[in-house]
Amino acid sequence: MPEQWRTVTRLEKADFYADWLAKSQENEQIVQRDPCVSYGKDVLYVETVQDYKIGMLIGEQVGFPTNGTNLCRAFLPAGHHTGKHRHGEEAIHILAGEGVLLLDDRRYDFHAGTTIHIPYFGTHQLFNTGKTEVSYITAMAMDLDLFVRLGRLEQIEEKGANQPGFEAAFPAQESELDPKGRRIVLHIEDAPDEQKRRDEIAKAKRAEAEARGETAESHGHGHGHGHGHEEPAAKKGRGAANQNPHRHGQILILMGGGESPSPERNGFTAVSVAMTNIFEEVPHTSSHLHSHTEAVLYVLEGIGFSEVDYEHYDWQAGDAVHVTPKMTRHEHFNPSDLRTRTLRIEYGIRYFYEPLWDGYEKVEHRETAIARP
């Protein structure tokens, strides 16, 4: 056996400190090798006891360094249901199809554009009640939950075909909230438009100022217009107000999020994983330019590219962009003549670390979306 390798008996003290140093160095190297974009066309799908067809877009198992988080896409054929199970928090966004969620024996209806929150250890199952396939995006922090030894994954029933008349056994949906008052489903047609709401508030304030004979401060109207120059970096603590809200062409508020200038969460109480917003970039624009730790964007519509730590990554609908779990500088571009829409996913572990060290706080390098002729 080589001298640098030898067996350590149970009676010897292992050099755990050296192990920590080595792991730290390994982590530093791993986060520099993030693929950054998961291409939908390359996703490997599998069948499990829970799902007929599911593939991981972002996760350690497919080569992305994460905080123990993942993003998957799943498909549920017409006339079938998923397995029934329970685990840590989960966020789901329905891409196509319609059906029913059973969560702790309560019914919640969904269709394309519905965002769903599964509370921690909620027993749940999806049923396809339509004539076409249901497809959806699902996000969890499963590896993190299992690593800290507090998480569990319990399979209660396997997937299968719907029985004739099965819907009659489900009471009609009573509410979009659960008995504890937590929102479980939000349909996209009910999602508030953050830009519109903040513009309305700003307009009302200007009117009040003019009524008092004061001159209201003017702000750029956003929606893809600006001077294009970077402003001095500004740190934004969690929930800090942003006086210029136009970070994207449009922002639809779903579950809300820790870095959003809007406090609205629409009644959702997600902690470990949240599908916070849908971002829209209008043609020939780019988003604000900023740095923070891990998050994910799933491309719902359009084509574009991101610049991540000064590297260029193309993407299109069906792809996912991974913001690496380090202070990652990034900006998203729409060079096309059509809009792009992306679904933003954040994981709560990020907000455990931000208060510990200001080096992990989000930094705004340029706070507005700008035109890119």
**Where does residue 225 rank: exposed (0-12), middle (13-18), buried (19+ CB within 10 A)?**
middle
DSSP class of 261: S
Helix (H, G, I), strand (E, B) or coil at 242: coil
Distance from C-alpha of 338 to C-alpha of 24, rounded to nearest angstrom: 44
Q: How many CB atoms lie within 10 A of CB 135?
A: 15
How remote is the C-alpha of 305 from its chain's centroid? 18
Tens of pLDDT along the chain (373 residues) come to 455 666 666 666 678 999 999 999 999 999 999 999 999 999 999 999 999 999 999 999 999 999 999 999 999 999 999 999 999 999 999 999 999 999 999 999 999 999 999 999 999 999 999 999 999 999 999 999 999 999 999 999 999 999 998 888 888 999 999 999 999 999 999 999 987 777 788 888 888 888 888 865 544 443 443 444 454 556 655 444 444 446 888 899 999 976 666 678 999 999 999 999 999 999 999 999 999 999 999 999 999 999 999 999 999 999 999 999 999 999 999 999 999 999 999 999 999 999 999 999 999 999 999 999 8
Domains and CATH numbers, the chain: 43-190 (2.60.120.10), 194-371 (2.60.120.10)
Helix (H, G, I), strand (E, B) or coil at 31: helix
Kindly give the pairing relationship between strand 160-161 and strand 98-103.
unpaired
What pTM, to 2 d.p., does this model score?
0.88
Q: Phi/psi of residue 178, each to 5°?
A: -90, 175
Structure tokens at 298: 């799933």
Query: What is the DSSP code string of 95-148?
Result: EE-EEEEEETTEEEEEETTEEEEE-TT--EEEEE-SSS-EEEEEEE-HHHHHHT
Structure tokens at 187: 């349909």
- Per-residue three-class SS string for 342-372: EEEEEECHHHHHHHHCHHHCEEEEECCCEEC
